[in-house]
Amino acid sequence: MIRGIRGATTVKRNEVSNILQATEELLREILKANSIDPADIASIIFSATKDINSEFPAKAARLMGLKDVPLLCVQEIAVPKSMPKCIRILMHINTDKKQKEIKHVYLSGTESLRKE
């Protein structure tokens, strides 16, 4: 079965190091919170707000060794008053976990994006 895991974070500045560091932190937290073996990742979609364009967030996954995972970067819809400098992730994993067992991860002020 395939399940989706959501996550988000923000960057302070539109700089390569900020983007890579924040994305790596988010990926590592998602993997840890859900006890994911990287071999079970089916794909990852990254979105970034229009004010983030210095680097592809997916590069952080490649630098972490996720070389065989299909990755895609897209631009988030520019909704007025939406959260700036935000990177979002939708990770698809192969798992037997039930939907309610999945732990979504929101860092660096993005917690308000997912109200339980």
Q: Catalytic residue among 76, 86, 101, 116, which?
A: 76
Q: Is 13 flagged in the annotation as binding?
A: no
Q: How many other C-beta atoms can be found within 10 angstroms of the C-beta atom of residue 46?
A: 24
Residue 86 a catalytic site member: no
C-alpha torsion 38→39→42→47, nearest 10 = 20
Residue 76 a catalytic site member: yes
Residue 6 a catalytic site member: yes
With H, G, I as helix, E, B as strand and everything else as coil, classify residue 113.
helix
Q: Catalytic residue among 3, 6, 25, 29, which?
A: 6
Q: Is 106 flagged in the annotation as binding?
A: yes
Q: Catalytic residue among 73, 86, 101, 111, which?
A: 73
> 88, 76 in Cβ contact below 8 A?
yes
Q: Is 88 flagged in the annotation as binding?
A: yes
Residue 13 a catalytic site member: no
Q: Catalytic residue among 13, 101, 111, 114, which?
A: 114
* Sheet of strand 41-48: strand arrangement: 71-75, 41-48, 86-94, 2-10, 105-106
Q: Catalytic residue among 15, 28, 62, 111, which?
A: 62
Residue 106 a catalytic site member: yes
How many H helices and E strands in the chain?
A: 2, 5
- The binding site consists of 6, 88, 106
- The binding site for prephenate consists of 6, 88, 106
Residue numbers annotated as active site: 6, 62, 73, 76, 88, 106, 114
